[in-house]
Structure 1
Amino acid sequence: MPARETDRPVGPARWTSLDRGGRSARSQLLLVVAVAAAGIVTIRPMGLGGRGLAVVLLFVVNCAVLALRLVPESALSDRLLTVWLAFGVLAAAGLIGAGRSGTVYVFAFLLTAFAGSRLDTRAALALAVSCSLLCGGVLYVQAEPGRYATTVLGLATGAAVLGGMAGRSRAQATRAAIAAAESAEKAARAEARTAVLAERTRIARDVHDVLAHSLAGLNMQLELVDALIDTGDLDRIREANGRAHSLVKESLRQAQWTVHALREDHLPLRESLTAMLESSGHHGALTVVGDVRELSAQSTRCLLRIAQEALTNATRHAPGGEVAITVTFTEEATVLNVRNRSATSPVTAAAGSGMGLIGMRERIALIGGALTTGPVTTGPDSGGWQVEAVIPR
């Protein structure tokens, strides 16, 4: 069902447009009524015969042309409006010639002003010049020899076109400002939608960091327990059940970090990494090299998430192995290196989703950094695994 006008969201610009349109229509109606009433009261002669009848007919025609102010611009083509206004010029000049008193000049002034506000410049000026010449000519013919002062009033009727053109320029500027405001509002809404989508993507990565590995490992252990129940091997059942409990505890720790990171705008990098290592059972495993500097909130979140993912992978694929994190600050970049040694406890094979590495690469790419992963082949950590993230300064 199509939305009604009242059902559509109305912004400030739309309210302004509707309000101005309503006020303009009311003011035009009041103007037409006031001019017609003043003409009825003041213009003479008016009657049912002779000159009075001619004045009445010309007055009616002038009022009809003046009523065009009430017609919306879109309802009349420029050509039709020009024809009507040209006819109105003749009627206005005729009324000035037939009427002897009152507001006979008002129609000519209002007509040229209206032409300036609705027609293009060339057509408006042509009608204004025609109106001035006709009205001035009529008054010149009627004037007594040597008394042509009123002719100047007839020639001045065309000057009102300048006021109409100025009003048209203001109206166009107002419409342009309203259109610009509406465009800006649409752009702001689009930007807000983009920000929401980006935030959803970030939250999806954070949720994956907590749930994907933990739930996959927990599911594997529970399936192993189900398989061992039939064998009656209580020792292996207890071992698998213990690993499941460990995974649950690890998941809770990871969930706490995720909620904390989502709530905070800017986490301290060193303190957060230290707490993360200690919660994983690796005390004193953080090394900071170089002059520490504050990173942006986005860069800090990225490094923390990569460290969190790397620690989760180390716990899963190299249980019991030592883990060390090094953060190096140089003039060109900030480097995060997470290394783990080989496992010292039995490793239970499990297929990963592959989303962890993808998530890390997506995070680092968003801030223009680079990520490398692979086995450690030299040094005391040989046989282990490392993850290195580089964020340019």
Structure 2
Amino acid sequence: MSSSPAGRFGTLMGRTASGRAFGLAGIVVVAVSIGAAHSDAPLWALTAAGAALVAWAAAEIVPARSPFLVRAGLLVVVLLGSGLAALPTSIIGLVPALIAVIATIGRTDVPLAVGLAGATGCAAVVSVVGAAGGQPLTLVAVAIASLAIAVLAGLTRRQARAASDRERERAAEHLAMQTERARSAALDERARIARDLHDTLAHALGGLVVQLDAVEALAEAGRVDEVLVRVQAARTLAAEGLADARRAVDALRDPLTGTVAVADVVRSITQLAEAARGLGMTVESEVPTPEPGATVRVGAEASDALTRLVQEALTNARKHATDQPVDVRVELTTREIQVSVANPRTARPGGELAASGSGRGIPGMRERFDRLPGARLRIDDDDPESFRVAAHVVLA
């Protein structure tokens, strides 16, 4: 919306095509009425009425982007001509001014003072003509009352348009908010997909690299029996990775909901530790043995986050702390389950496997636990001697 005078007056009398046609029809009706009933009026009054009607017609057909002076001039001619012709034509000549006042005051993009000043000026002209020509006070009062009614009609129209403008603004703000929410949800979903792909593929492929490296070393040493064992382990790891990838795809289609038994969480962590031992890692695990029939449960999303934490920590240890022992601990209290993974750091580089990391494991871990109400995650990455990650999740 333009804030310049030209921009404001550019829409002062502008209408839709149907509104413009109605306005032009009104001009014809007023002109015929004056000609039929008041042809004997003073020439100056008929001339003023004619000028007002011409200015009204011009305001209806002149393009909306006309210069400010053109629009302002037309408004002045309408108000002045109507004010002069109002009393000699028994109020009929005042119709163009009434229409102009309603249109001007009713526009929210035109200062209210413009319409009020126009109505006041027109009323003053009517009063002067009445006093100079000895017109009946009743007729003068009717003319001024008509202008007052036009002002009230314009104010009502202005309020309705202001309410409509506010409603449009609220609708636009709501749409912008909805769009931003949709964009944020899409970004969150993309981040979740990236986390799941990283956690499944990086773990499986990293393990395959370890196995294939061992196969190569054993083949060069001629230890064929051990090569077969490693190949079988690689096949098992690949199958598990494929199963994890399928579960990740299923989770994308049907997000995790409900709860999971803590016994199942402990079992999954124990299986991860066993799989890491099968890759040649030294894993010391301390996990509780759930009592038979125990009904302790945790949210499905929390269960997935804990399992992925252990998986990512073991993968990182295999990449960056080769031949170092890894300690996996699970503790269960009456309110929460605590899982931690720690390993000493190594001065020996991790080789190609360490360089294969994308750097997204730890951020993805944080994102998972940030989504869980009441969950806490601590990553001790500043200690030069060791690395430790611990998570606390509230039970369901």
TM-score, normalised with respect to structure 2: 0.68
Give the Å deviation of 1:29. 0.7
Give the structure 1 partner of residue 309 of structure 2.
Answer: 306
Amino acid at match of 1:371: R
1:360 matches 2:365: yes
> Alpha carbon RMSD of aligned pairs, Å?
4.6
What CA distance in whole angstroms lies between the structure 1 residues aligned with 2:159 and 2:173? 21
What CA distance in whole angstroms lies between the structure 1 residues aligned with 2:39 and 2:153? 37
- 327, 339, 363: which one aligns with 1:337: 339
Amino acid at match of 1:243: A
Amino acid at match of 2:171: A
Q: Secondary structure at the match of 1:264?
A: coil
Q: Secondary structure at the match of 2:26?
A: helix
Q: Is the 8 A contact 1:47 1:56 kept in 2?
A: no
What CA distance in whole angstroms lies between the structure 1 residues aligned with 2:333 and 2:306? 12
Q: Is the 8 A contact 2:310 2:341 kept in 1?
A: no
Distance of aligned partners of 1:90 and 1:386 in 2 relative to their CA distance in 1, 3 Å threshold = closer
Give the Å deviation of 1:215. 0.8
> Which sits farther off after the overlay, 180-189 or 43-52?
43-52
**CA offset digits 1:285-328 (Å, max 9, x no partner):** 65469995765x65454334324445767999899x99774433
Q: Secondary structure at the match of 2:193?
A: helix
What CA distance in whole angstroms lies between the structure 2 residues aligned with 1:116 and 1:180? 24
TM-score, normalised with respect to structure 1: 0.69
Give the structure 2 partner of residue 17 of structure 1.
Answer: none
Q: Is the 8 A contact 1:327 1:336 kept in 2?
A: yes
What CA distance in whole angstroms lies between the structure 2 residues aligned with 1:227 and 1:294? 43
- 371, 377, 393: which one aligns with 1:370: 377
Q: Is the 8 A contact 2:219 2:227 kept in 1?
A: yes
Question: What are the within-5 Å matches in structure 2 for residues 277-296 of structure 1?
Answer: 287=289, 292=296, 295=299
Distance of aligned partners of 1:176 and 1:213 in 2 relative to their CA distance in 1, 3 Å threshold = same
- 119, 122, 125: which one aligns with 1:131: 122
Q: Is the 8 A contact 2:379 2:390 kept in 1?
A: yes
Give the structure 1 partner of residue 333 of structure 2.
Answer: 328
Give the structure 2 partner of residue 204 of structure 1.
Answer: 194
What CA distance in whole angstroms lies between the structure 1 residues aligned with 2:316 and 2:78? 87
Q: Is the 8 A contact 1:32 1:67 kept in 2?
A: no
Amino acid at match of 1:152: A
Distance of aligned partners of 1:349 and 1:125 in 2 relative to their CA distance in 1, 3 Å threshold = closer
Would you say how many aligned residue pairs link Structure 1 and Structure 2?
Answer: 348
Give the structure 2 partner of residue 380 of structure 1.
Answer: none
1:181 matches 2:200: no
What CA distance in whole angstroms lies between the structure 2 residues aligned with 1:63 and 1:26? 19
Give the structure 2 partner of residue 11 of structure 1.
Answer: none
1:270 matches 2:261: yes
> Which sits farther off after the overlay, 205-214 or 80-89?
80-89
- 14, 29, 34: which one aligns with 1:43: 34
Give the Å deviation of 1:150. 1.6
Q: Secondary structure at the match of 1:105?
A: helix
Q: Is the 8 A contact 2:208 2:237 kept in 1?
A: yes
**CA offset digits 1:12-49 (Å, max 9, x no partner):** xxxxxxxxxxx951343133122112123322269999
Q: Secondary structure at the match of 2:56?
A: helix
What CA distance in whole angstroms lies between the structure 2 residues aligned with 1:264 and 1:167? 52
1:114 matches 2:116: no
- 238, 253, 259: which one aligns with 1:248: 238
Give the structure 1 partner of residue 157 of structure 2.
Answer: 167
Distance of aligned partners of 1:185 and 1:71 in 2 relative to their CA distance in 1, 3 Å threshold = farther
Distance of aligned partners of 1:92 and 1:130 in 2 relative to their CA distance in 1, 3 Å threshold = same
What CA distance in whole angstroms lies between the structure 1 residues aligned with 2:183 and 2:229? 49
Q: Is the 8 A contact 1:45 1:55 kept in 2?
A: no
Q: Is the 8 A contact 1:218 1:248 kept in 2?
A: yes
Q: Secondary structure at the match of 1:269?
A: strand
What CA distance in whole angstroms lies between the structure 1 residues aligned with 2:340 and 2:141? 94
Give the Å deviation of 1:210. 0.9
Give the Å deviation of 1:103. 3.4
1:193 matches 2:183: yes
Structure 1's unaligned 5+ residue stretches are 1-22, 342-347, 375-384
Q: Is the 8 A contact 2:30 2:92 kept in 1?
A: yes
1:152 matches 2:155: no
Give the Å deviation of 1:365. 4.8
**CA offset digits 1:89-117 (Å, max 9, x no partner):** 22112333554x69323122212223323
Give the Å deviation of 1:212. 0.7
Amino acid at match of 2:255: E
What CA distance in whole angstroms lies between the structure 2 residues aligned with 1:217 and 1:307? 14
What CA distance in whole angstroms lies between the structure 2 residues aligned with 1:387 and 1:48? 99
Give the Å deviation of 1:211. 0.8
Give the structure 2 partner of residue 239 of structure 1.
Answer: 229
Distance of aligned partners of 1:50 and 1:184 in 2 relative to their CA distance in 1, 3 Å threshold = closer
Structure 2's unaligned 5+ residue stretches are 1-13, 275-285, 344-349, 382-386
Distance of aligned partners of 1:87 and 1:355 in 2 relative to their CA distance in 1, 3 Å threshold = closer
Give the Å deviation of 1:358. 4.8
Give the structure 1 partner of residue 204 of structure 2.
Answer: 214
